[in-house]
Amino acid sequence: MSETGLTGRIVSVNGPIVKAVGLTGAGMMDMAEVGPYRLIGELIRFQNEIAVIQVYEDNTGLKPGDTVTTSGRPLSVLLGPGLISNIYDGIQRPLISLEQITGSFITKGVKASPLDIERKWCVDITATEGDEIKSGMVIGGIMESEAVLHRVMIPPGVSGRLDYIAPSGSYTIEDEIYRIKTETGIFSGKLANYWPVRKPRPFLEKKKSTVPLITGQRIIDTFFPIARGGTAAIPGGFGTGKTMTQHALAKWCDAEIIVYIGCGERGNEMTDVLNEFPKLVDPRSGHPLMERTVMIANTSNMPVAAREVSIYTGVTIAEYYRDMGYNVAIMADSTSRWAEALRELSSRLGDMPAEEGFPSYLATRLAEFYERGGYVETLCGTEGSISIIGAVSPPGGDFSEPVTQHTTRFVRCFWALDKILADARHYPSISWIDSYSEYLDDIKGWWIAVDSAWHEIRSAALNILLEENRLQQIVKLVGPDALPVEQRFLLQCAELIKNGFLQQNAFDPKDMYSTPLKQMKLLKLMTKFFHEGNKLISSGVDLKDILEMPGIPELARLKSEIGNDENEMIDQFEEKLVSGMYELLRKAKDGASGV
């Protein structure tokens, strides 16, 4: 602990909430080591002379009279080379290192540095002595992995003249790399620095993003897109595929860094991630996906207090890479489990409960988390982004519960998962009726560059689906045969869009990821079939003849039969389809004229 720390003693233990005396003069949010095992905690409240401490480890056996020592530093994470490919718990303890020390189960009070203090990194120094230094300036680079160049940056709040800089070479995170003469003295810089998790890292300006975060999931990219630096929620009841949807987004989205936060989820789900991600190959770099991924694993059987802080640990790490100029995506699974931890801790603190027992500051905490996303100009003058995608697990799939309702206030994308679709094995089970995106106008120009008719095609397809949803209410009462032929054809086209476009197979090598161009060509083909088919029907062509045209059964299978680099095959299929429809029209006209 820091020499500026204070020592007190415990007077009360209530689960993870500990009260102590003798810490007068300590700061709010200071870290503390609690009891004989020196458990990690955080000062979260003062009640006269009593300090309230939130303990982030198993504190079984802790008792009144045990000592508490503060650090004089807020709860912080160590930011530097070595974060990529690592797996941490909610308070940045490296789980791989802890397993080597304690085995499969973490023992109380075990300590390990978040970053390897012995490993030497090859640093390419780009600054020279005498340079004027500003916060966020890049002075060197490290190849942290085959996919990520780690930029060595001056910490926020530090500026002055570079008094000393080490030559390019191999250094540990403990070695002095540079010294800066500031207005208040000499700042000695290393490769790694601490940053408080609850304090957002500074930037120059937040900007509006005009580029979508491409995920390769057709229903998201085409119908309900998210911009880089955007925020989205994935609410859904048990079994609707929230975790699997986030897995797909983490695998295929075009963010350069992925921070995956397993917050209160079941251990087997995190096990799937930990087993699968190292085997996946990043389609852009050709290297394992883990070489651009940081994982925070704080499962449901781990201390509840650490679950509460885990999302702040994850977003702070994301901000660090954003400041280097990277586009980062955070997958938080799930914010409902985080809110439940908040509810448990607030009840032990004696806070007045609000809706469904959640604390009255639930909305504020959610806002603080999602507002740390965004597309920004960094301190070093580059641009970076953090896209936050949070899963929400409303009990019974009830979207009116507090966590879902408050989340919708702070996100601009809402990907509602539908239990009926999930039961029908339609994945992703994102409802096209209940979902929405407020980024359409922001990223419209990008999509128009892909296909100038993007907006019209998307609107036409959505109108077909919305009309089909309305007609289904009638079909349930009177059956489809009672509908006019145009409406029966619309029902068929809606099924075609649902099965041939919206449904996506995560295990099919050609269907698991779709490029924007392939998405547009598929959807344009299906909407064209709808419009041309209506013309045939109005010209007297029988619906049965249209649906039995050669190639119609193949139309729903094109997504898995044509690869992302074989788009010309979609064009060829379109030519054959249009030719067949014109032939039907000709026969209909010949029949009408008696030829």
**What are the chain's domains?**
7-74 (2.40.30.20), 116-191 (2.40.50.100), 205-440 (3.40.50.300), 454-593 (1.10.1140.10)
Q: How far lies 464's CA from each of 224, 338, 341, 523, in Å?
A: 16, 38, 43, 12
Output 570 or 107, whichever has higher pLDDT. Answer: 570
pLDDT of residue 282 exceeding 90, the answer is no
Residue 180: is its pLDDT beyond 60?
yes
Residues 308-358: tens digit of each pLDDT: 899 999 999 999 999 999 999 999 988 999 999 999 999 988 888 999 999
Average pLDDT for residues 31-54, to the nearest whole number?
93
**CB of 559 within 8 A of CB of 500?**
yes
| Residue found under tokens 């609000």 | 354
* Window from 102-111, 427-436, 497-506 with minimum mean pLDDT: 102-111
Q: Which of 42, 13, 110 lies closest to 308, judged by CA?
A: 42
Over the range 355-368, which residues count as b (16 or more CB within 10 Å of their CB) and which as e? eeebbeebbebbeb
Average pLDDT over residues 212-235: 97
Here the contacts of 163-166 (C-beta below 8 Å, separation 24 or greater) are 163/129, 164/129, 165/125, 165/127, 165/128, 165/129, 165/139, 166/123, 166/125
Average pLDDT over residues 257-278: 81
Phi, psi angle pair for 407, to nearest 5°: -60, -40
* Least confident stretch, 249-258, 280-289, 324-333, 573-582: 280-289
Beta bridge partners of 233: 390, 414
- Percent pLDDT > 90 in the chain is 73
Q: Dump pLDDT digits (tens) for 485-510.
A: 999 999 999 999 999 999 999 889 89
CA distance 386 to 300: 26
Least confident of 79-83, 384-388, 412-416, 591-595: 591-595
Widest Cα–Cα separation across the chain: 104
pLDDT of residue 284: 66
For the residues 183-195, what does the mean pLDDT come to?
A: 94
Answer yes or no: is pLDDT of 278 > 80. no
Going by pLDDT thresholds of 50, 70 and 90, the confidence category of residue 245 is: very high
Indicate if the pLDDT at residue 112 is higher than 50.
yes
pLDDT at 179: 96
Give the CA distances from residue 574 to residues 457, 511, 515, 562, 568, in Å, rounded to whole numbers and listed in that order. Answer: 15, 19, 19, 13, 10
According to the model, what pLDDT value does residue 270 have?
A: 74
pLDDT at 593: 57
Collapsing DSSP to helix, strand or coil, 76 comes out as: strand
pLDDT class for 3, splitting at 50, 70, 90?
very low
At 591 the pLDDT is 66
**Neighbouring residues of 449: CB distance < 8 A, sequence distance ≥ 6:** none
Average pLDDT of the segment spanning 70-97: 92
Specify the 3-state DSSP secondary structure of 17. strand
Distances (CA, A) of 450 to 45, 267, 283, 520: 53, 41, 20, 8
Mean pLDDT (whole number) for 60-74 = 92
Model confidence at 283: pLDDT above 70:
no
Distance, in Å, from the CA atom of 101 to the CA atom of 94, rounded to the nearest integer, reads: 11
- Which is more confidently placed, 160 or 277? 160
Residue 46: φ, ψ to 5°: -125, 130
pLDDT at residue 2, rounded to an integer: 44
Residue predicted with more confidence, 271 or 100: 100
Give the per-residue pLDDT at 244: 87
Q: How many Cβ atoms from other residues are within 10 Å of residue 205's Cβ?
A: 10
Residue 371 has pLDDT above 90, yes or no: yes
Residue keyed to tokens 């489809």: 480
Q: What is the pLDDT of residues 532-553, one digit of tens each?
A: 999 999 988 899 999 988 888 8
In single-letter form, the type of residue at position 219 comes to I
Q: Say if residues 270 and 304 touch (Cβ distance below 8 Å).
A: no
Cα separation of 39 and 109, whole Å?
5
The helix (run of H) or strand (run of E) holding residue 315 is helix 304-323
> pTM of this prediction?
0.93
pLDDT level of residue 4 (50, 70, 90 thresholds): low
Question: For residue 143, what pLDDT is reported?
Answer: 95
Write down the pLDDT at residue 1. 44
| CA–CA separation, 234 and 532 (whole Å) | 36
